[in-house]
Structure 1
Amino acid sequence: MKVMDIKPPTPRQADSDGHSATFGQHPASPSHWIFMGMKDGGIDFAASVPCINLQELLTMVEADPEIRFVPVTREEEGVGICAGAFLGGLRPALLMQNSGLGNSINALASLDQLYGLPLLMIISHRGSSGEKISGQIPMGRLTAPLLDALGIPSWTPRPQQARSFVAHAAAAAWERGTLAAVLLDLDFWKGI
């Protein structure tokens, strides 16, 4: 997997509202740090299919008046809608489970990559170490190799790194006119 050199945030950091958060002492969830990274990265449009791991994040995104949110039925539908959002002047993110990556490969390659359309993908990485549902494991093993084969840079942060990694991935996508992925494995959701 390709990983960019990124310095994680300091253990004590203020969110965009100026409220401080100390890891281990503040009730901020992993979803909070992803959401703050999206805000820092200028994301103002998001599409997603339902996902249990992304549920809290999706609630935050949907409630934010500065982010236009569109629920979709399939990930490749989200790729197309996000492409349209970008062409309309917005900065989109696609929030999905890694099983949806397999469903969206053609749209990512023949639309976004072909035309140089940037897109931040925030991916709940099921099937990684500790997965209890055996049907998730095959795609879990293939996720990083698929991203590598497509030439999509990806990052796998810990919760305390999520804000800076998400913001950096968004910036990388827009600076290069490319796709960027942030993978959130089971340990991430456990706060490990």
Structure 2
Amino acid sequence: MKASKAVYDAIRESKIDFVVGVPCANLKNLINLINDNKNNSQITYIPATREEEAIGICAGAHLAGRKTCLLMQNSGLGNSINAIGSLCKVYQIPMLIIISHRGELKEKIPAQIPMGRWTKNLLETAEIPYYCPKTPEEAYKIIIHASEYSETMGYPVAILLDALYWEHDIYNNLSP
């Protein structure tokens, strides 16, 4: 099982039917899988321009009865902390957040490093449980359980997928 396919299959298995994403190079293949299979999978995909906008869209979809997932890069976590605290926490809105974790091993862009180092601390401060699967097989299992946990808890749960995880994706060398 490859990286993007494992995440896509876990989203489907979790019965998530509404995904909002902020573009990221590591997430492009996952977004393409969702869009390519939307007629078969019953997943609605909405692109967003900012992470706090994506939180609001997911919250509205949840209130309309949808099971939601947010796709974003960890650099957007700082942008979305207030929306998570003032919306998701206050109104008990569950949401699976799949985060492309930039700024650690194999990072080539210096500007990504500060947020990469702060990501886990920000999640802990916001009381968002997070998991860091290392293989597609592990990600598949964890995403399913994390989605259930988010629903039970009534609050977001995050999955951090770093550069080493995305190396499992055979599609990384293909253009979008």
TM-score, normalized by length of structure 1?
A: 0.84
Corresponding residue for residue 46 of structure 1: 19
- Number of matched residues? 165
Question: Could you list the per-position Cα deviations for residues 55-87 of structure 1 after superposition, in whole angstroms to 9, with x for gaps in the alignment?
Answer: 000011122231011111101000000000000
Partner of 1:106: 82
Q: Which residue matches 1:31?
A: 4
Gaps of 5+ in 2: 170-176
Is residue 75 of structure 1 aligned with residue 51 of structure 2? yes
Alpha-carbon shift at residue 29 of structure 1 (Å) = 2.1
Match for residue 147 of structure 1 among 106, 123, 126 = 123
Q: 2-side partners of 1:46 and 1:52: how far apart?
A: 17
Alignment gaps of 5+ in structure 1: 1-27
2:141 is the counterpart of 1:164:
yes
Cα separation, 2, equivalents of 1:187 and 1:160: 14
Q: What's the secondary structure of 1:54's corresponding residue?
A: helix
Following the alignment from structure 2 to structure 1, what is the Cα–Cα distance between the partners of residues 8 and 77? Answer: 21
Q: Distance in 2 between matches of 1:79 and 1:69?
A: 14
Which one of the candidate residues 100, 121, 124 is aligned to 2:97? Answer: 121
Secondary structure of 1:69 counterpart:
strand
Equivalences for residues 153-192 of structure 1 within 5 A: 153-158=129-134, 159-191=136-168
Whole-angstrom CA distance in 2 between matches of 1:62 and 1:108? 26
Distance 1:62 1:114 in 2: 32
How many Å separate the matches in 2 of 1:129 and 1:152? Answer: 23
Following TM superposition, the consecutive aligned residue runs of length 4 or more in structure 1 with deviations greater than 2 angstroms are none
What residue in structure 1 maps to residue 174 of structure 2? none
Based on CA coordinates, which of the two structures has the bigger radius of gyration?
1
Letter in 2 for 1:49: V
Correspondence 1:60 to 2:36: no
Q: TM-score, normalised by structure 2?
A: 0.91
Deviations 1:104-141 (A, max 9, x none): 11001000011100010000000011211110000000
Q: 2:142, 2:24 → 1: CA distance?
A: 21
Identity level (%):
45
Question: Which one has the bigger helix percentage?
Answer: 2
| Shift, 1:160, TM fit | 2.1
Distance in structure 1 (CA, Å) of the matches to 2:66 and 2:76: 23
